[in-house]
Amino acid sequence: MGFFKNLKDRLFKLKTKEELEEQKKILEEAKLKAKEEKKLQKIQIKLEKDQKKEIAQLESVQKFVTGLNKSNSNFSKAILELQNNHVKLDDDFFEELEEILIMSDISAKLALLIIDEIQREVKIQNIDDPKIISEIIVDKMFLIYANKSFIDINLNYQEQRMNVFLMVGVNGSGKTTSIAKIAKRYKDLQKKILIIAGDTFRAAASEQLEIWANRVGVEIFKASQKNQEPASVVYQGLEYAKNNNFDLVIIDTAGRLQNKINLMNELEKINKIINKFIGRSVDESLLVIDATTGQNGVSQARSFKEVTNLTGIVLTKMDGTSKGGIVLSIKDEFDLNVKLIGLGEKMDDLVDFDLDSFIYGMTKDLIENYEKK
């Protein structure tokens, strides 16, 4: 093939200026379209994420509504009846309202404070009709909890270290199942978990814990000999955890409140050992309380707070009680946040405490009745 033919072929393949401009325009439009499509794709991804988040929030609220059904039914019904039985806001109305709050496991001191706040608000707003103060009652319950101090419901777990959670509480509080549920939560996040059976005084405690550990699929460390000191088991367990790169260690402890001095000494030893191994205080010291025990649960919180530093509360069996006020009482008296709340028997029914969802779940019928007016 000669030079001329090659040149001719090349020249004939060249486009005119107009054609080049048209091609450039098409290319720019294609780029713009691709850019718009990419933008639309990003918007779609964001919308999908937002939708998933909203669905998760809705499911969480629904879980609280279901779990607090008994509390809501009891509390809302009592207040609605009170409102229907009174035509004005007088001393009798507020005395009966105080009784309802106390019957819902809100301490007498806190109930009186809530009543004072409600009375102050109705005076400011010049309200005299009992039927229109539902919103004020709900708001004051919310603010009593929220205004106490910063609400921190997050468990103090951090990456790139061995985290240690200490679990305390009386026998029968739901401590064993709570340990299993917390272990499952972190196992589902692909973390390596070790449970230390630190209650060496009851053989049944270790056996039950082992059953749950096997069910969840995590390791358990138990006493190597009969009647071994709890502190000794914890020491060996932490040594094993450190040598085997565990992400989270959950320590069970004895719940014997009968002898506070022994319990205090025991927990003091355990805390010293933890400090030695991780170079800091225990990451979480969680008190497990059975919500169905009512004001007795508040007494337990008082007793355990005397023998060890607590970082939060795990409130179990909330779905089994018609009295939800214990949450407000514990926060008011000890300034302790409920971090986890049990709203059912399933493994995923131990959920992060959410104040908005809790107050809504406890007063749902009252709120809905008010909104209809």
> Does 318 belong to an annotated binding site?
yes
> Does 173 belong to an annotated binding site?
yes
> Does 214 belong to an annotated binding site?
no
> Does 104 belong to an annotated binding site?
no
> Does 175 belong to an annotated binding site?
yes
> Does 116 belong to an annotated binding site?
no
> Does 169 belong to an annotated binding site?
yes
> Does 346 belong to an annotated binding site?
no
> Does 122 belong to an annotated binding site?
no
> Does 176 belong to an annotated binding site?
yes
Q: How far apart are CA 147 and CA 142, in angstroms?
A: 8
Q: How far apart are CA 230 and CA 256, in angstroms?
A: 13
> Does 164 belong to an annotated binding site?
no
> Does 317 belong to an annotated binding site?
yes
Structure tokens at 69: 């059904």
**Contact of 318 with 342, CB cutoff 8 Å:** yes
> Does 170 belong to an annotated binding site?
yes
End-to-end CA distance of the chain: 94
> Does 297 belong to an annotated binding site?
no
> Does 174 belong to an annotated binding site?
yes
Bridge partners (DSSP) of residue 340 are: 314, 352
> Does 319 belong to an annotated binding site?
yes
Q: How far apart are CA 200 and CA 205, in angstroms?
A: 8
> Does 56 belong to an annotated binding site?
no
Q: Which residues are annotated as a binding site?
A: 169-176, 252-256, 316-319
Residues annotated within a binding site for GTP: 169-176, 252-256, 316-319
